[in-house]
Chains A and B, each alone.
Chain A
């Protein structure tokens, strides 16, 4: 209640002041084109070759990132994306403005059409965000680990407080509630992967919610990122799968006519091998992307309604801020839940590949 009492006047202040400043700014560009909400949202959640931090007046403050491409025409080429700030084209490369490759680096092909280079491993906004998140994660985990190492060397088993305590709580959560119940007795060898995946996703989600640099990037809402994570889970599942797991796939316990002469069930099982990580990939990507989109949409409401009328705009600003705060809290929850779900399902799939034969299992219990 106390928090509500403090926050509500602030929201009212925002609701009153924001339209004033917005309208003051808006008067200079009264004939500005209509606000394209879809474009704004897409620009925020999509990958880019520069990291646009903010705009002060007419001046864009951006981090220009290196473009690294391999093309049959030029071989390996690397240049800063700042060249596109003033020129549309550099060395035959340009950023497509429309079409399937919109926003991507393209080059003129021999037939005159614009084609993607063979390889494009540019350090894009999302790649930089991945770097930053990775560095942050490594720093956090290593500093927490050093706390334990210092205590461990002295033989003390002291319980941590504060940040290390919170971190330990989550590590313990991953061990006790994710790894142990889903994988079983072999859980220990998969712990580093599960913990890394959990904290990487969780940190990236949280960083995505923070609305300013170095946060605000849509890392886990990008399908390439979630695909990489899903590939890692796929490797963890299939590389360490035991004989029982492969037998269940290639020669499952079903009537023979389902296996011979057409390997129907094995085909379905092999298909399932790929469906599982695919589901992981889509789930994480869609949840985070949706969260970002909803937050941005609510923020856009302010600008859309403000361009209609000041009165509606002021009212809607209040509503929109309230909803955005609400959605942000929800996203905080989603950030944790999606990290949990991804790790949990990874553990379930790993556990399935570690499953003992039924009789053997019953005997063990």
Chain B
């Protein structure tokens, strides 16, 4: 059973040696290793976290760019629609204006024609009147070539006026 009895001398040496080893390693050995392990672990954790964040941000950016693209496309469609509408409007307006202008010109022309016609009618009337006066003069001159006839006409005329 001597195995189970710890030897005092060995116990003493073991405590001394282990104490010294512990002192040396705890001071100059393990802290450097543990510190670098911790540091590396921290770096890895941080890297993983930032990678995750970057990924999330990338997803967000993707969604954002998608949205921007979509709105741009909408805008484009809207602009196209507007342009089409405006073009049609313009054409319609131009057509309307052209129609109105044409009508106006037609009316003017008609008016001018009317006026010309009236002028012409008036001219004809005047000429007719002059002609009838001339004809009447000629007739009168021939009728009043003798005295008697003159007298009777004057009398007839006086009578007419008197009455």
0 or 1 for each of A248-261: is its CB under 8 Å from B? (1 = yes)? 00000000000000
User: Residues of B contacting A192 with CB < 8 Å?
Assistant: 22, 25-26, 30-31
User: Residues of B contacting A228 with CB < 8 Å?
Assistant: 11, 14-15, 18
Q: Do the beta carbons of B25 and A152 come within 8 Å of each other?
A: no
A119 touches B (CB below 8 Å): yes
0 or 1 for each of A211-231: is its CB under 8 Å from B? (1 = yes)? 000000000001111011101
Q: Please, which residue of chain B has its CB at the minimum distance from the CB of A121?
A: B9
User: Residues of A contacting B107 with CB < 8 Å?
Assistant: none
Q: Give the size of the chain B interface in residues (CB under 8 angstroms).
A: 35
Tell me the bound Cα distance from A134 to B22 in angstroms: 10
The answer, among A131, A196, A224, for a CB contact under 8 Å with B11, is A224
> A134-B20, A231-B15 are known contacts. Are A168 and B26 too (CB-CB below 8 A)?
no
Tell me the bound Cα distance from A126 to B8 in angstroms: 13
Tell me the bound Cα distance from A247 to B4 in angstroms: 34
Q: Within A97-127, which residues are at the interface with B (CB < 8 Å)?
A: 100, 102-104, 119-124, 126-127
> A224-B6, A224-B7 are known contacts. Are A148 and B15 too (CB-CB below 8 A)?
no
Among B4, B10, B17, the one with the most A-chain Cβ atoms within 10 Å of its Cβ is B10
User: Residues of A contacting B18 with CB < 8 Å?
Assistant: 130, 134, 196, 200, 228-229, 232
Q: Do the beta carbons of A175 and B25 come within 8 Å of each other?
A: no
Tell me the bound Cα distance from A228 to B11 in angstroms: 6
The answer, among B6, B15, B22, B31, for a CB contact under 8 Å with A223, is B6
Q: Please, which residue of chain B has its CB at the minimum distance from the CB of A146?
A: B32
B161 touches A (CB below 8 Å): no
In whole Å, how far is B156's beta carbon from the nearest beta carbon of chain A?
148
In whole Å, how far is A195's beta carbon from the nearest beta carbon of chain B?
5
In whole Å, how far is B8's beta carbon from the nearest beta carbon of chain A?
7
Q: Do the beta carbons of B7 and A175 come within 8 Å of each other?
A: no
Q: Within B14-44, which residues are at the interface with A (CB < 8 Å)?
A: 14-15, 17-18, 20-22, 24-26, 28-37, 39-40, 43
Which B positions have Cβ atoms within 8 angstroms of A?
Answer: 2-15, 17-18, 20-22, 24-26, 28-37, 39-40, 43
Which A positions have Cβ atoms within 8 angstroms of B?
Answer: 45-47, 68, 100, 102-104, 119-124, 126-127, 130-131, 134, 137-138, 141-142, 144-145, 148-149, 151-152, 157, 159, 167-168, 171-172, 175, 188, 191-193, 195-196, 199-200, 222-225, 227-229, 231-232, 289
Extra inter-chain contacts (7) besides given A134-B21, A172-B37, A232-B22, CB under 8 Å:
A130-B18, A159-B40, A188-B34, A195-B30, A196-B18, A199-B25, A229-B18
Q: Can you list 12 A-B pairs, Cβ within 8 angstroms, ordered by A?
A: A102-B2, A121-B8, A124-B9, A127-B9, A138-B21, A145-B28, A145-B30, A148-B35, A148-B36, A152-B39, A157-B39, A192-B25
